Chain A
Amino acid sequence: AQKITQTQPGMFVQEKEAVTLDCTYDTSDQSYGLFWYKQPSSGEMIFLIYQGSYDEQNATEGRYSLNFQKARKSANLVISASQLGDSAMYFCAMREDHNNNDMRFGAGTRLTVKP
């Protein structure tokens, strides 16, 4: 069974600095996808970045990058040049590519950006 672990319930970062949000996962599948979502206080889940298990390069999307270490089963999100609007809950998620598995989410990390 797939399991996602986010060990940081809350994180603080100074505006304009970089921050890393941790995510580890457990799966016996060889083919899977890893996702990060942002959830502001409004409630809507916003897709940030995707990494496939067979992708050799780390994914990047603007200020977001995913530090993918397959052997360690970790998929940490790095946010560079933090902005006040980055304050939100961040969820790591995984979906195995086979057997119609649904996307499973970690418990989330609350990021607060300080001015």
Chain B
Amino acid sequence: KAGVTQTPRYLIKTRGQQVTLSCSPISGHRSVSWYQQTPGQGLQFLFEYFSETQRNKGNFPGRFSGRQFSNSRSEMNVSTLELGDSALYLCASSPLGQGRSGANVLTFGAGSRLTVL
């Protein structure tokens, strides 16, 4: 069974540009969550999509957005990039939406490492 696939793995952008990251969940998983990981802030929740609907959102500015397609693949977009957006962006999928069951394990991808210059 294929795992969670994130593309691209590495990318470099400059301030003011925008970026789109892609996540393909495990087959059959309907929930996709996105996290930002930085050395200073650790792992922070961005948002979660379940059946093409955003169900939950973390405390990030509106420059961060996402969507989920009918095949459960998800994309996240960051517009007007800032230096502080440099981070590892992790996508995780699960069979059920977050909060549905305590045992609902998140399976993570390898991440997309974004560097903003």
Cα–Cα distance between A105 and B38 once the two chains are bound (Å): 13
Q: Are A47 and B110 in contact (CB under 8 A)?
A: no
Give chain A residues whose Cβ lies under 8 Å from the Cβ of B102: 31-33, 50, 52-53, 95, 97
Give chain B residues whose Cβ lies under 8 Å from the Cβ of A53: 102
Contact flags A26-58 to B (C-beta < 8 A → 1, else 0): 000001110101000011111100101100000
Contact A44 to B43, CB < 8 A, known contacts A95-B98, A102-B56, A103-B98: no
Interface positions of B from 78 to 117, Cβ below 8 Å from A: 88, 90, 92, 97-99, 101-111, 113
Indicate if B58 sits at the interface (CB-CB under 8 A).
yes
Cα–Cα distance between A33 and B113 once the two chains are bound (Å): 29
Chain A residue nearest to B105 (CB atoms) is: A47
* Choice from A33, A42, A104 contacting B103 with Cβ under 8 Å: A33
Contact-residue size bin, chain B (C-beta under 8 Å from the other chain):
20 to 34
Chain B residue nearest to A29 (CB atoms) is: B102
Q: A44-B108, A44-B110, A45-B90 are in contact. List 17 more A-B contacts (CB 8 A).
A: A32-B102, A33-B102, A43-B113, A45-B106, A46-B108, A47-B105, A47-B107, A52-B102, A95-B98, A97-B102, A100-B55, A100-B56, A100-B98, A102-B56, A102-B58, A103-B45, A106-B42
Interface of B toward A, CB cutoff 8 Å? 33, 35, 42-43, 45, 48, 55-56, 58, 88, 90, 92, 97-99, 101-111, 113
Interface of A toward B, CB cutoff 8 Å? 31-33, 35, 37, 42-47, 50, 52-53, 91, 95-108
